[in-house]
Structure 1
């Protein structure tokens, strides 16, 4: 059997994880510090020759736990600052996460190497052998802890979240059953920019400053149109169509056109048959999104 990596899964945009956000970072770092310290005290996973120790084993474990915790905090605080300056709060992928975690593990390994003289009395402290061992040990332990924390996080998110994603089925609604006209005339602030729209063809709408991008499908062709009207102004003119939902600060989606949903309590990604573009549902909107879906299903598929 060949080895396969789902590259698409790695590069799709997802919401920036809450665990790395500044408001939650101290909590995440504290958990990491406590777990590493407990693990080192209980299992002594890497060989330590007692006569070489300059201090009690507890303090050695304390330093080995404190170092990666501090690096994790400083690294992601710096990253948060840079992302904020570049206005990249929403832009994140699993590939980026794995790359940053790898960088943190390398830095943690270097830190463990540089403090060897402080905690060990060994003439070979500055050898390439110990440099390699410290980086290798950090990667082995770091990957283990990362997987453990991700699985724990997924478990608790599932406990407090909704099983909606697993139960989702497409809302197969014919336009004639909605009792709503498919043609809509949209008024803008400038009369010559007013336009008509076939609402049944609309997949989703994306905000672009004072403009919106309308992504439509007529069954065989995808088209995108730019219109001079804000997303909020457009939203107020389609209130008669309850199957359009503001799932994100920059997106409005046609619930009848959604084919698939992926995600968890941190956010969803909506897929459509006609395009590879994924539309995000922000974490704050998940409950409202689920409620809207259930109401539409009850009304039109009962």
Structure 2
């Protein structure tokens, strides 16, 4: 049960910034090269080598970079809601990536070694095993340590802002213009809870006498946010969420950032991304002071 709960913990999705991903992969390649070149952890038969040992180490260290970039680009396009990313999903995707790298190392054997058994199951297993032996440092050590670091960091931020207090509500009705003629609508800021991206639409959630209601509108979150600029308590907490800070009931933390629970809405929680935490602290604290 503890393992199941652990793998379901929220974890940041780091793969949207390709520049940072490339820098990270290049750094890992350098470390892998130095480790393999200096310590020679794997036995090799030099008589079978078609190229020098130095070039073999370089190939194995840097060959994973284009494979990883291609894989992570595909992953980035397929993950629709990064707020649902967990440490378990991170483990699984990195394990699959290591498997692909090991498989690629196996296919390169004919270019590196003159061994008639290059295509045997023995060498397939050997290449995949060796890849996992190197990659296990990331899977078994770095990921758990990074999760702990993020949790501690976000809990410390939470201590700075304390618990939500009552914020003076503003009763204002706003006329919202959409890109679709004839679909303009009114939103009462006293009842507005949050808005979220829903495919090519945004879903606007508001409180009502019966609980809460929803509107689905054909516009972007940015277009909606710009029209609510006069209201300082409306804040974009995540690339997919815009929240009325007046309606926050409680704030907790996880490795991705903060998690908000709203008054009159117990159906789900709202994520605050790590990149927004400091700005959220400032805006939320200012709202509490008023």
Q: Distance in 2 between matches of 1:290 and 1:21?
A: 24
Query: Is structure 2 residue 32 aligned with structure 1 residue 36?
Result: yes
CA distance in 2, matches of 1:191, 1:108: 51
**TM-fit CA distance, 1:41:** 1.5
Q: Secondary structure of the equivalent of 1:100?
A: helix
Q: CA, structure 1 residues 234+205, in 2 after alignment: closer, same or farther (shift >3 Å)?
A: farther
- Which one scores higher on RCO, CA 8 angstroms, separation ≥ 6? 2
- C-alpha displacement at 1:234, in angstroms? 5.7
Q: Distance in 2 between matches of 1:67 and 1:227?
A: 46
Q: Structure 2: which 5+ residue stretches go unaligned?
A: none
Would you say the 8 A contact 1:109–1:138 is kept in 2?
A: yes
**What is the deviation of 1:65?**
0.9
| 1:287 pairs with 2:275 | no
Which blocks of at least 5 consecutive residues in structure 1 are unaligned?
none
Tell me how far apart the structure 2 counterparts of residues 191 and 113 of structure 1 sit (CA, whole Å): 58
Q: Conserved in 1, the CA contact under 8 Å of 2:155 and 2:253?
A: no
Instruction: Return the match for 2:173 from 154, 179, 185.
Output: 185
CA distance 1:233–1:72, change in 2 (3 Å): closer
State the shift of 1:79 in Å: 4.5
Superposition pairs of residues 47-126 of structure 1, within 5 angstroms: 47-80=43-76, 83=77, 88=80, 93-94=85-86, 95-126=88-119
Report the aligned-residue RMSD.
4.2
- Given the alignment, which residue of 254, 260, 270 partners 1:271? 260
TM-score (norm 2): 0.72
Deviation digits for residues 193-218 of structure 1 (CA, Å, limit 9, x no counterpart): 54656x2x654333666765124387
Which residue of structure 2 lines up, in the alignment, with residue 251 of structure 1? 241
Cα pair 2:151 2:253 within 8 Å, conserved: no
Aligned pair count?
277
- Alignment counterpart, residue 24 of structure 1, candidates 20, 27, 41: 20
1: distance between equivalents of 2:84 and 2:202? 24
Q: CA deviation at 1:34?
A: 0.6
Deviation at 1:103, TM superposition (A): 2.7
2: distance between equivalents of 1:74 and 1:160?
31
TM-score (norm 1): 0.70
Q: 1:62 to 1:207 in 2, by over 3 A?
A: closer
| SS in structure 2 at match of 1:48 | coil
Contact 2:176 2:224 in 1 (8 A): no
